[in-house]
Structure 1
Amino acid sequence: MAPPYPFPIRPQEEILKCLRELDFPFSDAEYAKPTPEAVKPLYQGFVQLLMQMTREELQQPVFHAMAELEYPELHDDSIGDLASFRALQKLMKVAGVNNFCLKDMHMPDTLGVRRNLSALLNYVMFREDKLQTFQEHQDRSDSLLERKQQLEEENLQLTSELKRIEAERAADRPAVEELERETSGLQVTIVALNKEQAALNKENHRLKQQANELADQLASEKFALLEAHQERAELRGKIVESPEKLQRTLEELGAAVERERAAIGEAERRARDLQAKLECCGKVEREVMKTVKLMEEAEAEIAKYKTVSRDAKAAKAKIKANEDTAWELDRVLQHLQRQHQSAMERLQRLEQQGALKREAAVAALEEARALKAEAEAEHKETMAKLTERQTQTREVQAKIADVRSAHEQEIALLTAKYDSLQGQVHKYHDALAGVMETPPARPPRPVLA
């Protein structure tokens, strides 16, 4: 009974049909009596189909390995064949044939070819069946990788923008600090000027009230003086004038007038001082307005700085969000890859189990049928067939012995020829080296007559 494999052994008709569908030339005669010339291109075709390797890549020698050989030109074909065999052996292991060897290529038999083609066709069908699912996962993986790349590029752009903003902020920081210091100094100056302005306004209001009072008093004094003049005129006509008394009255009135004039002059002087103070207050107010304008400009710069800071914080938040998104996409991608790997392994296990079960059932059915047919046939011609088979066995063994002896003689003859050829080459090289190392003979000196 054939050893179990994780794939069904397919009948000849199905194998040849699948090969024709794959456009692999392989006839019934070649299947019945396979030869290395027919099997080798077929296997190479499967390698090219499933491993995406060209015929030139399969025959490409390893140049650094050929340099180690004594006569590399004698191994051009063998090294290419060995590279092709290694690729085919790797494919066979993946397909489920772990005991594929050089004999399957150089001395193929029908059972081995059937087993190997069944494994390769089973792998082709499995590949076609799972290729769509794999392609879907691959497309999703590519889209996730593309999205990740976009997020990384956006993250780099935002990081660059953040660095630029931080550089601008660092460059503007001395100016901002200078403006803040100037603003603090101007605030102190404004507070002092506001206090001084309040005091001046209060003093101005008091002086205006005093000036109004003095004006009212002056008007009252003028009116009283006018009344006094009228009264004097009236009294002068009624009474006898005494020169001494009149002189004293005039002196008193003159003194009163001088006092009123002095009070008026003092009020006018105080009014002029007040006007000067008012002009000073106007200058101070204009300076205060300039200071307020500078403060507004400083506040605008501070607001701009705060806006830039907010933008920088928003950029940092966006970068953090993009990093989180990229990490999440990476995690989802890894999760999908793990799911895909797990699904593929589970499918492979199920396929292997199903194949083993199908193979066991088919093998049991074929064995039962074979046993039944064999029992029916052996019931009539057991002894005759046994004798015939023994005769055939002896003939085959004799032929095998003859072929093996001829093969061994041919190998010995080839080895002897190779050793003789190698000895001749060495002798030729030694003779050539001796000729190259021996100095030429000096010609004889001519004899003078």
Structure 2
Amino acid sequence: MPPMGTPGAGPIDQTYTSFPAVKTEELLSVLQEMGLAVSAEDVAKPQSAMVQRVYMAFLDTLAGTLPDMLDARRDEACARMEHSEIFEDGIAWLLFYREVRAMMDAATVHDFHLQDLTRPHPKRFKRHMSALVNFFRFRSDRLAEFDELVLDTEELENRRLDLEEGSEQVRSALDALAAQRRDEEPQVHALRERNLALSDQLLRLKKEQGKLLGEVDALKGEKAQLAQHQSDVQHELHTVHTELHKLQARLAARPDDVRRQIADLHTQAAQERAGVRDAEAKAAALADKLQVLAQLDTDVAHAHAALEQIAGALERIARETRILDEAQHALAAHEEERAALEARHAELARETEHATHALAARRDELEAQRSASQARLDALTARLGEVSRTRKERHALAELRTNEAQAVEQEIESVLQAHEAHYAKMQRDKDALCRTAAAYMDALTRALAHA
């Protein structure tokens, strides 16, 4: 913090401004928000110490410059000088004035001088406070907008990163599905060909099954006929046996007729046996056909199971195809959103680049001002060194004069003491002479009275 009470020149003429003037109440409200206890009388009659505290608070709020930072810069500048204690106050003042001057330039006040800190003028102080309050409001409004833009940018950046990560995951999943699909394509083609072959075989088997079922129905009908014929033959055999017993009973009476009947019966029985053998052969062939039909039913069941497996595989492939299509649609949507975000990011990048260029221009301008201020500081430092040397010479001369004055004072004091002693002696002599004269006058008066 710079020292208080450095002398300066008289007040400078006030210039016109492009910003609105603020009322004293509004200024006091802003200063109270900044933690400064300033009254209306302080604003009406500004003092150097109060003004410096106010400007230091605005430096802290608007520029982020703290007293410790100024002290550190002062110590750094004085560290390279001999007898730095002589220059500390002057350098501190120059650093503080340079920071305040830069802040006032940013607030569109270009006629700020050192005496506005050391010997403030009420009207100029009020005008400078109006500029800083308007600049503070503008900065607060823009700071909120800037913070909002920063948050939106961070949110968009995080969303872009999430979308890129999700896009990478979807792309990886799609690549995995595509690779799995490519790997399964030979199996799918084989299953399709097998499905077609099994379908053709199933159609052939169905046709053959239809034929065999027709033959089975025909054989069943023939079997029923043969069974009926067999029962009829058995009934006839039973009848023949019955007749044979009867004929055997009558054999003794007519043997030739019986023999003839027996021969006829044997012939008929042989024919019946031949018919039975044919029926049994047909029944055996029918049993073989039934066994073939049973095997065919088993093959058809296996074919149905294989068809169900193929249908499940086809359904799974169709489901995975739908999932792949949905993933491709989602990827397309992500790509569109990513393109929009990239456009927004490019726009923000352009705005950031513009702001960077503006900041660089402002930095160059401030650097030029800093160089000019540094040159002025160097000149002032040289002037301060010259003044310091002159002050040392004057201090030495003053010390010499002081020693001479002290010697003269001591001599004067001794003369005064001698004078006082002589005066006291003369006073005592005067008193004694007065007493002697009084006694003489009394004696003379008495003598004249007696005469």
TM-score, scaled relative to structure 2: 0.51
Q: Residues 57, 173 of structure 1: CA spacing in aligned structure 2 closer, same or farther, 3 A cutoff? A: farther
Aligned twin of 1:203: 215
Structure 1 contact 162–312 (Cα < 8 Å) conserved: no
Displacement of 1:46 after TM fit?
Answer: 0.6
Measure, in 2, the Cα distance between the counterparts of 1:45 and 1:113: 15
Residues 324-403 of structure 1 mapped to structure 2, 5 A cutoff: none
2:386 aligns with one of 414, 417, 432: 414
Percent of matched pairs sharing the same residue: 19
Residues 166 and 308 (structure 1), Cα distance of their counterparts in 2 relative to 1, 3 Å cut: farther
Indicate which of 73, 85, 88 corresponds to 2:80.
Answer: 73
5+ long unaligned stretches in structure 1 = 336-406, 418-449
Q: Does 1:296 align with 2:317?
A: no
Q: Which moved more, 1:14-23 or 1:113-122?
A: 14-23
Which residue of structure 2 aligns with residue 160 of structure 1? 169
Query: Cα offset for 1:223?
Result: 4.5
Structure 2 counterpart of 1:283, from 295, 302, 306:
295
Aligned residues: 333
> CA contact under 8 A between 1:169 and 1:305: conserved in structure 2?
no
Q: 1:273 to 1:9 in 2, by over 3 A?
A: same
Contact 1:59 1:84 in 2 (8 A): no
Deviates more, 1:226-235 or 1:212-221: 226-235
In structure 2, do the counterparts of structure 1 residues 319 and 175 end up closer, same or farther at CA, with 3 Å as the change threshold? closer
2:167, 2:334 within 8 Å by CA — same for their partners in 1? no
Task: Spell out, residue by residue over 1:232-266, the C-alpha distance to the aligned partner (whole angstroms, 9 max, x if none).
Answer: 867988997758x965x755654443333223212
The 1:328/1:294 distance shift into structure 2, 3 A limit, reads same
Q: CA deviation at 1:271?
A: 1.4
**1:272-307 Cα shifts (integer Å, max 9, x gaps):** 222222223223322332332343234334434444
Distance in 2 (CA, whole Å) between partners of 1:327 and 1:82 is: 54
Indicate how the Cα distance of structure 1 residues 284 and 106 shifts in structure 2: closer, same or farther if over 3 A, else same: same
AA in 2 matched with 1:73: R
1:192 equivalenced with 2:201 (yes/no): no
2:108/2:131 contact within 8 Å kept: yes
Alignment partners' CA distance in 2, 1:46 and 1:31: 19
Amino acid at match of 2:131: A
* C-alpha spacing 1:282/1:169, structure 2 compared with 1 (3 Å): farther
* CA displacement at 1:167 relative to structure 2: 2.4
- Cα deviation digits, residues 309-336 of structure 1 (max 9, x gap): 444544555666677788889999999x
Q: Which amino acid aligns with 2:283?
A: A
Could you tell me which amino acid in structure 1 is paired with residue 180 of structure 2? A
1:444 aligned partner: none
Aligned mates of 1:271, 1:157 — CA distance in 2: 74
SS of residue paired to 2:20: coil
* Contact 1:186 1:291 survives alignment (8 Å): yes
Secondary structure of the corresponding residue to residue 80 of structure 2:
helix
Distance verdict in 2 for CA 1:193–1:11, change over 3 Å: closer
Tell me if the contact between 1:58 and 1:84 (Cα under 8 Å) persists in the aligned partners: yes
Aligned 1:37-436 pairs, distance under 5 A: 42-56=54-68, 73-74=80-81, 88=100, 91-97=103-109, 99=110, 110=121, 113-125=125-137, 130=141, 135=144, 142=151, 146=155, 149=158, 153=162, 156-157=165-166, 160=169, 163-164=172-173, 167=176, 170-171=179-180, 174-175=183-184, 178=187, 181-182=190-191, 184=195, 185-223=197-235, 253-314=265-326, 317=329, 411=383, 414=386
Paired residue for 2:5? none
Instruction: Please give the alpha-carbon distance, in whole angstroms, between the structure 1 residues aligned to 2:225 and 2:255.
Output: 37
Structure 2, unmatched stretches of 5+, are: 1-12, 348-378, 390-451
Q: Once the 2 structures are TM-superposed, how far is the Cα of residue 116 of structure 1 from its aligned partner?
A: 2.5
Query: Residues of 1 paired with 2:338 and 2:117: CA distance?
Result: 54
- Aligned residue for 1:73, secondary structure, equals coil
Q: Quick check: which has more Rg, 1 or 2?
A: 2
Distance 2:25 2:234 in 1: 148
d(CA) in 2 for partners of 1:108 and 1:322?
A: 66
Distance of aligned partners of 1:270 and 1:88 in 2 relative to their CA distance in 1, 3 Å threshold = farther
